[in-house]
């Protein structure tokens, strides 16, 4: 089971937003839920100013739950 981003590298200017789409590749039909994680890494701009010594890298790790439509809905899981 592979979850692939359709545009894996994107440049965003301050204030810009970006929608990201994923493709699910699977050789067999889904019959259970699958749990994946998607990690977004910020790549800092090249620093041409030698006076600045601090750089910050940002990473977001987001859970993705893949649930087949054929799976029934459990409404009383708390019981």
The tens digit of pLDDT for each residue in 13-67 reads 888 999 999 999 999 888 899 999 999 998 877 777 777 677 788 899 999 999 9
The CA–CA distances, whole Å, from 17 to 12, 31, 53, 73 equal 7, 34, 28, 33
Could you give the 3-state DSSP secondary structure of residue 60? strand
Distance (Å, rounded) from C-alpha 43 to C-alpha 31? Answer: 37
CA dihedral sign, ordered 22, 32, 35, 69 = positive
Sole residue written with tokens 């699977």:
26
Domain residue extents for the chain: 2-66
What pTM did the predictor assign? 0.67
């Amino acid at each position: 089971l592979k979850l692939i981003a359709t545009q894996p590298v994107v440049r965003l200017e301050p204030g810009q937003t970006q929608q990201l789409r994923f493709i699910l590749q699977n050789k067999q039909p889904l019959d259970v839920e699958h749990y994946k994680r998607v990690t977004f890494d910020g790549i800092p701009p090249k620093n041409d100013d030698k006076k600045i010594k601090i750089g910050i890298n940002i990473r977001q790790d987001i859970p993705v739950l893949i649930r087949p439509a054929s799976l029934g809905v459990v409404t009383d899981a708390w019981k």
